Structure 1
C-alpha cells in the first residue's frame, strides 16, 4: 500500500478520535482540529488513489473510486 494512502488513513482516524473527544468534552477547538484532520487525511488518500489509477492506466485517473 502506498505511503500516502496509509498516512491519509492514519490522519483520518486521528481526526475521528479528536472530533469524538471534542464532542464529548465540549472542546470546540479540538473538534474543529479533528474535522480538519479528517479532510486532510481524505485528500491524501484520494491523491494516493489517483496515483494508483495513473499507474494502472485507468481512463479517468481523477476518479478515486476507479479500480
Structure 2
C-alpha cells in the first residue's frame, strides 16, 4: 500500500467521523465538510491504487479493482 492509498483511507475515516458528528449535533457545515473529505479521500485512494497498478504492470491501470 503506497502513501496515497494510506492518506486516502485516513481522509475517508476522518470524513465519516465528521459526517457522523455533524449529523448527531445538527451541524450542517461539519456534515458537509465530512462529505467532502470522504470524496477527496476516495479520489486519493483511487489514485494510489492506479499508481500501484501501473507499477505492477496491470493492463488496465485505470481500474483500481485490478489489485
Q: TM-score range by the shorter chain?
A: over 0.9
Q: Deviations over 1:5-57 (max 9, x none)?
A: 11111000000000000000000000000000000000000000000110111
Could you say which structure has the higher helix fraction? 2
* SS class of match (2:41): helix
RMSD over aligned CA atoms reads 0.5
Which residue is equivalent to 2:34? 34
Q: What residue number does 1:46 align with? A: 46
Unaligned runs of 5+ in 2: none
- How many residue pairs align between the two structures? 67
Structure 1 gaps of 5+ residues are none
- Scaled by the length of structure 2, what TM-score is found? 0.97
- 1:2-41 maps to which residues of 2 (within 5 A)? 2-41=2-41
TM-score, length-scaled by structure 1: 0.97
